[in-house]
Amino acid sequence: MASQPSKRAQGIAPFLAMEVMERAFELEAAGARVVHLEIGEPEFPAPPAAVEAAARALREEPARYTDSRGIPGLRAAIAAERATRNGVGIDPERVLVASGTSPALLLAFTYLLDPGDEVVLGTPHYACYPNLIRAVGGVPVLVPTAAEAGYRLDPARVRERLTPRTRAILVASPANPTGAIQERRDLEALHALGLPLVSDEIYDGLVYDGARVTSALELGDNVFVLDGFSKRYAMTGFRLGYLIAPQSAARTLRSLAQNLFISVASFVQRAGVAALAEGAATIAELQKAYAARRLVLMRGLVALGFEVPVTPRGAFYVFANARRFGSDSRRLASDLLERAHVAVTPGVDFGDAGEGWLRFSCTASEADLDEALTRLGRVLR
């Protein structure tokens, strides 16, 4: 008898950004040159110090298991960097290192949720949030946000969606795909609702036009903060992130990490220590480049007939209304990939609220952005 997927497994939808990327890889293997605007991956190299630290660790240290929470030096360095960035002292005992923010989110939701428990979050939303909630038996509860309001997550609307089964409120600031930054007063109001605040801060540091991000760490102790090295330090392939949790959750989270992941690769953790110590130049370079590229991309998309109602204040995406060209964003993205060899992410990946939209990453070089816009123009005309 053939195996059958569980109902929970069947409830996990494909990650369309990855689906587009994997089809792009197939086209490239067949000889096409694809311009990648679909994935949130910096085209810059990782900090040289991080690369050298990983190589040195592989050469000179035995590659062994580490403490399931991460090596002490990395956890202390994360706490120190957070104190500098957010002005909040963090006990390294609250830090748990993971293989990226997705495993860290999975740990947080496994800790917080029983089957049927709910997490309230804004939409459009990062594609994987609902699936990570469903993976542990939880229920995502979506609160619409609007472009004309800067994709603000309205605390009053969140309050209306709370039930006896609500266990957490999820926020992302800066947000994927919109680039929105939540105002401090709104985060304070959300925190005041008395539920754990799960805050994805992976794009903090990549902000523009004088914007400032309020970390959930500044609001109080009942917060679970996700962050990592992929975006600010151009280290996506290193797969290194972390969770900062309340002290009361540390023991249980440690047990979960021991069982689910054992530990993060030791040489990758050494790279993380080096990135925190010597990676400031990489962050500055990325921030300067993306501030310019998002404007190049926005102007080009508007000239092609897309609507871009909000200038992104953070992250490195432009979320554009594409309904002029078709209401089925998945079909439109596929058409653009196959005909123009430009890979973009369908808006429906970010929830029903994103249908008819496309997400464009501005991490490609300006030359590639210009090439992509030219190709798109040929096909869309």
Q: What's the pLDDT band for 2 if we cut at 50, 70, 90? A: confident
Res 326 pLDDT > 90: yes
pLDDT at 187 (0 to 100) = 98
Which pair of structure tokens corresponds to residue 213? 């991000």
345 — pLDDT class (breaks 50, 70, 90): very high
Q: Tell me, what's the pLDDT at 1?
A: 80
Q: What is the pLDDT of residues 228-261, one digit of tens each?
A: 999 999 999 999 999 999 999 999 999 999 999 9
CB contact burial 202-239 (16+ within 10 A = b; e otherwise): bbbbbbbeeeebbbbbebeebbbbbbbbbbbbbbbebb
CA dihedral 284, 287, 293, 295 (to 10 degrees): -130
CATH of 48-278, one of 3.40.640.10, 2.30.30.360, 3.40.50.2300, 3.50.50.60: 3.40.640.10
Write down the pLDDT at residue 191. 97
At 381, is the pLDDT very low, low, confident or very high (cuts 50, 70, 90)? confident
48-86: pLDDT as tens digits: 999 999 999 999 988 899 999 999 999 999 999 999 999
Do 7-45+281-380 and 48-278 come out as alike in CATH topology? no
- Predicted confidence (pLDDT) at residue 206 exceeds the cutoff of 90: yes
Fold of 7-45+281-380: Aspartate Aminotransferase, domain 1 (3.90.1150)
pLDDT of 221 > 90? The answer is no
User: Residue 145 — pLDDT band, cuts 50, 70, 90?
Assistant: very high
Residue type, 82: R
DSSP helix, strand, coil percent of the chain (3-state; round to 5): 45, 15, 40
C-alpha to C-alpha distance for 201 and 147, rounded to whole angstroms: 20
Phi-psi region of 340 (alpha: psi -120 to 50; beta: other; left: phi over 0): alpha
Q: How confident is the model at residue 109 (pLDDT cuts 50, 70, 90)?
A: very high
pLDDT value at residue 68: 97
DSSP letter at 67 equals -
Structure tokens at 309: 């109602």
| Confidence (pLDDT) at 62 | 87
Cα separation of 280 and 271, whole Å? 14
pLDDT of residue 336: 98
The full set of domain ranges for the chain reads 7-45+281-380, 48-278
Cα angle 81, 85, 87; round to 5: 100
Percent of the chain with pLDDT over 70: 100
Global confidence as pTM: 0.95
Q: Which residues contact 351 (CB under 8 A, 6 or more apart)?
A: 123, 124, 125, 130, 142
Summary count for the chain: helices (H), strands (E): 13, 12
144, 352 contact by CB (below 8 A):
no
Give the bridge partners for 141, in sequence order: 120
